[in-house]
Amino acid sequence: MQLIRFQNATPDSFVEYPEWKVSTAVKFAEEGDALLVIYADDPNLLIDQDPHKVGTVQQTAFKYIKPLMDKAVKNATNWSIVTAPVDGWVDKVFPELPQKIRKPKFWDTLFEICRINNDDPVSAWKNHVNQLSSRSNHLNQKQYESLIFTAPETDLKIGLPKGHLWHAASMKSQNGINFVANIPTEEVFTIPHKDKTEGVVKCTKPLYYGGSLVEDYVLKFSNGKVIEVNAKKGEDLLKKFIQTDEGASFLGEIALVPHKSPISQSGLLFYNILIDENASNHIALGRGYKFSFKDGETLTDEEFTGLGGNNSLIHIDCMFGSGEMDVDGITKDGEVEPIMRNGEWAFKV
């Protein structure tokens, strides 16, 4: 249906959106009902369509889903995003395999990265979540003022706001339910200070979004803002994203992921941000999460930005980690402490 729309709809219709999809989900969230999103699509579906139309549809969606995102960034209810193999997608990820075994192979891969292929998968998953939580607790105790990322073609400093909170895997909704928002998950993440990112970052994995790929791209920051974008493929699309609104060219998230995560070690590009972001350290352009501050769910937008948070319609993850990356934390006294070395954790928990 989506492809038929791109092939036949009138140009003015691409700024329209089925508002009932959002209003229904918002109603569920307001009533404290759980939300489950199955995020799976064919990466090649829109590959031959006009990139301008694709960008317009994406920006329109960003605008209309804002009320739902407002609920999500406040953890108004428990929610989760999962995935499953679908036709087209399995062909993109495993083109070298015979057609009949692509989907079973995909399921096997998902089971592996979600730790289901264990004698006791429930315990394996709980142990994984607890390990990530221990990492976030360690970083919360440190309260670093900034992070330094060093790798080939990357020299990036990200300032952190006072009182920032690191999160990982399990979170608690306003109705008191513990939940894991993303499955799979490998990240420990927090919020950057909107105005305190400086330097250059070379992204190590392609960005797949809305049927298009941005590949081999470099972002340059000054005073928190992206001031230069270069990409061998998809540069115009990326520039369109960061022009969505004022906050789209600033950061809303910084996440740490060890290079030896099962997703990274698979060597696969999944063309699906839910999985791909968990293969690598990543930054997110756009909206920050209010729950990254203590009692952040109660903050107004103005209070949030006053603390250093970033508001935007978009939240787009850009992967830049590798086995060659070092990460350091800068304390309030100016001391430099290792967080990651060669893409792996440099501290024990």
Q: What is the pLDDT of residue 53?
A: 87
Q: What digits encode the pLDDT tens for the residues 22-51?
A: 999 999 999 989 999 999 989 888 888 887
Q: What digits encode the pLDDT tens for the residues 135-191?
A: 999 999 999 999 999 999 999 999 999 999 999 999 889 889 999 999 999 999 999
Answer whether residue 324 shows pLDDT above 80: yes
Average confidence (pLDDT) over 63-75: 87
Average confidence (pLDDT) over 88-94: 95
Q: Are 204 and 267 in contact (CB under 8 A)?
A: no
Residue 141: count of CB within 10 angstroms of its CB: 8
Local confidence band at 240 (pLDDT 50, 70, 90 cut-offs): confident
Q: How many domains does the chain have?
A: 1
**Peptide bond preceding 152 in cis form (omega within 30 of 0):** no
CATH no. for residue 65? 3.40.1830.10
Q: What digits encode the pLDDT tens for the residues 43-68?
A: 888 888 887 888 889 889 988 998 99
Q: What is the pLDDT of residue 212?
A: 75
Average confidence (pLDDT) over 233-249: 91
Q: What is the mean pLDDT of the chain?
A: 93
Q: Are 251 and 284 in contact (CB under 8 A)?
A: yes
Closest by Cα among 207, 214, 242, 226 to 156: 226
For 223, counting Cβ atoms within 10 Å of its Cβ (0-12 exposed, 13-18 middle, 19+ buried), the class is: exposed
Average confidence (pLDDT) over 196-217: 90
| pTM of the shown model | 0.89
Answer whether residue 302 shows pLDDT above 80: yes
Domain that holds residue 29: 2-345
Local confidence band at 71 (pLDDT 50, 70, 90 cut-offs): confident
